[in-house]
Amino acid sequence: MRGAQIALARADLARAIAERPGLSCAPSQANVLRVRADALPGAELAARMDRTSVVVAGGGPLGDPDAVRITVPHRPEHAERLLRALDLALG
């Protein structure tokens, strides 16, 4: 995926995440996003997403235990799957 495509996919995903109640997404220039859920620590959010077969990294080892690290998917259908997994994890 080219840089411009990654930037567009990152912006679209960050916007979709930020529109969900209880979620926030830190600004990023990389192909990853740091996401926080108001009601869940990062490790719990990561565990819930793992149960939907969507793997994200808990932020604890990266110094931010309240967040998860999400790699920006290359394909739109993978981004939709990730968003559904977030919805289920919070629901």
User: How far apart, in Å, are the Cα atoms of 51 and each of 1, 29, 45, 66, 67?
Assistant: 28, 29, 10, 19, 17
User: What average pLDDT does range 14-21 have in this prediction?
Assistant: 96
Span 31-90, pLDDT tens digits = 999 999 999 999 999 999 999 999 999 999 989 999 999 999 989 999 999 999 999 999
pTM: 0.90
Rg (Cα) of the chain, in Å, rounded? 12
Tell me which H or E stretch contains 70. Answer: strand 67-71
